[in-house]
């Protein structure tokens, strides 16, 4: 573009950067000329107001026009719109479950493994080997010891106690309750049958 001996290629940041012919004086404010040049100075639009950056991103004005977003930890994209999936690299290891968070991840370890601040590793002092739980219970090792998940019909911290289903007197007064594992049987006196919850 050229205006009255003012030649601009379009990559100048202000009028004083343009080539000029005769008739131009000092261009201290970037817009002066001896006479009228027909140049109008305007302020560049502030692309950062309001900020286009999402999720706490910091906006900085570009040199010519536009903006750049600096994203906080855990986000990426032109306007910080994408949550980085910290689980995509499978950081938890050993068949554990990784749950993605914002700028972090959590690992859920399988039995026999513990979390060591970045991944699941086999518990060197595995409190489930040998299994301290009784009666077919499942042992879950943790950082502070173990816990037992009892099979039906058992209770106790090691599932060592059979639950006595006869404690509630389910057979009535004429029958004898016989406790079984996870159930009970009612036995009537000789010559009687147990029908409809009574002998």
- What distance in Å separates the CA atoms of residue 159 and residue 157, rounded to the nearest whole number? 6
pLDDT confidence tier of residue 56, bands split at 50, 70 and 90: very high
More confident of the two residues 28 and 99: 99
**pLDDT at 35 > cutoff 60:** no
pTM: 0.40
Provide the 8-state DSSP code for 166. G
**pLDDT at 89 > cutoff 50:** yes
Q: CA-based Rg of the chain, rounded to a whole angstrom?
A: 40
**pLDDT at 171 > cutoff 80:** yes
**pLDDT at 5 > cutoff 80:** no
pLDDT confidence tier of residue 82, bands split at 50, 70 and 90: very high
Provide the 8-state DSSP code for 35. S
User: Which residue spans within 18-73 are E strands per DSSP?
Assistant: 19-20, 58-61, 67-70
**Which pLDDT tens digit goes with each residue over 8-33?**
555 666 666 666 655 444 444 444 44
Q: What percent of the chain has pLDDT over 90?
A: 41
Give 47-54's long-range contacts (Cβ < 8 A, gap of 24+): 52/79, 53/79, 53/80, 54/79, 54/80, 54/81
3-state secondary structure of 168: helix
Spell out the domains of the chain, with CATH numbers in brackets: 1-42 (no CATH), 45-84 (2.10.25.10), 173-199 (no CATH)
């Amino acid at each position: 573009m050229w205006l009255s001996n003012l030649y601009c290629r379009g990559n100048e940041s202000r009028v004083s950067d343009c080539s000029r012919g005769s008739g131009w004086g000092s261009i201290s404010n970037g817009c002066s000329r001896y006479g009228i040049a027909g140049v109008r100075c305007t302020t560049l639009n502030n692309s950062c107001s309001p900020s286009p950056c999402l999720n706490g991103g910091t906006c900085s004005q570009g040199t010519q026009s536009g903006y750049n977003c600096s994203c906080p930890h855990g986000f990426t994209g032109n306007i910080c719109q994408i949550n980085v999936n910290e689980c995509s690299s499978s950081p938890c290891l050993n068949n554990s479950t990784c749950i993605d968070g914002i700028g972090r991840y959590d690992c859920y370890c399988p039995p026999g493994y513990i979390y060591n601040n970045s991944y699941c590793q086999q518990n060197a002092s595995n409190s489930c080997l040998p299994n301290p739980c009784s009666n077919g219970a499942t042992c879950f090792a943790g950082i502070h010891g173990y816990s037992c998940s009892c099979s039906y019909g058992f209770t106790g911290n090691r599932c060592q106690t059979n639950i006595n289903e006869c404690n509630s007197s389910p057979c009535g007064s004429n029958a004898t309750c016989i406790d079984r594992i996870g159930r009970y049987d009612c036995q009537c006196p000789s010559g009687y049958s147990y029908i409809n919850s009574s002998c």
